[in-house]
Structure 1
Amino acid sequence: MNIKSVSKNLAVFSLLSSLLFTSNAWSAEGAFFDETFGNYQEELDAAKEDGKKGVFVFYYMDECPFCHRMETTIMTEPDVIKLYKSNFISIKHDIEGSNEITDFDGTTASAQTIAEKKYRVRATPVMMIFDLHGKPVVKYTGPTRTKEEFKWLAEYVIDGSYAKQSFTAYKRARKKASR
């Protein structure tokens, strides 16, 4: 083997390796969210059929660095994906989107209008979990500080604590218990 063929083989190997690792990152990143066609009533029906606790909606903007950070760090963790996939249909909602959305109650409007007018989403990220009747049970504005805090958000709904206390009180109790 001469130097040209070695360097050519090395270049091909490097290219294939980078494609492999990039595709794994894409699939891991995309694994958190379920595919949606903008009909949240259908998502609710699917959640009921699958025995889930509700629908998790991640309101975001493309230019939001906090949204990007959550999507590329916390939402790629296997235990986080497993927790949310087991208990919720998880969808992304672009608050600047012009695409038509059918909301949980049948209201049809642009993604922007529903986020802005109905749920008063002004800054991102905003995370909301809706129960199986399409009613919001928790609304969290801003990124969670840690992976654990994001998991607590799900567990707060899963164990029914939302009916008894605020998420702030729940989080405080969880922090105290983990010390």
Structure 2
Amino acid sequence: MSRDPLDNLSVVRQCPAQWSRMIGDDQIRFCSHCNQNVYNLTNMSREEAKAVLSETEGKLCARFYKRGDGTIVTRDCSPAVKAGTKLKVAFVAVFGGALAALGFPILAPVYSGQVKMSPHQLVSKYARRLVRIDEQIGESKDTEEKKALLEWREEIERNLDKALKDERKGASR
């Protein structure tokens, strides 16, 4: 069993309160439903999230997203993921440059958005989008804008749920 507190995080009881309706900032808000601070671990660095878990002895209300492999999504991803991403980017840049130089029409799907992201990448993407949209909802004063943002948030949540299911399906293979 890992000694990293983020690897052993579990939900005892899920709160029905919506993050967007709580008062606070992008990392901590106050929940009037349970009368406690709620920490957004997804919008913290891994070290910040560990510090919060340590300070609260693991007894806290938290908002977080868990990947199919059980890891918690944080603002900074692990060095291994970053290194792998940099390697992939370098490979794609070299390979893409070579194809572009040769003029292959195979690049058309890249420019049209048809290249698929992995479920892991989609989970991270949608989790970050939810954090940003919650910030916008919290800052918005216009009711029509809030309504549109809440509808957009629901769509992002549906996409995140689908990506999480796809990721779990891929992890169970």
TM-score normalized by structure 1?
0.24
Structure with greater helix percent: 2
Structure with greater strand percent: 1
Rg larger for: 1
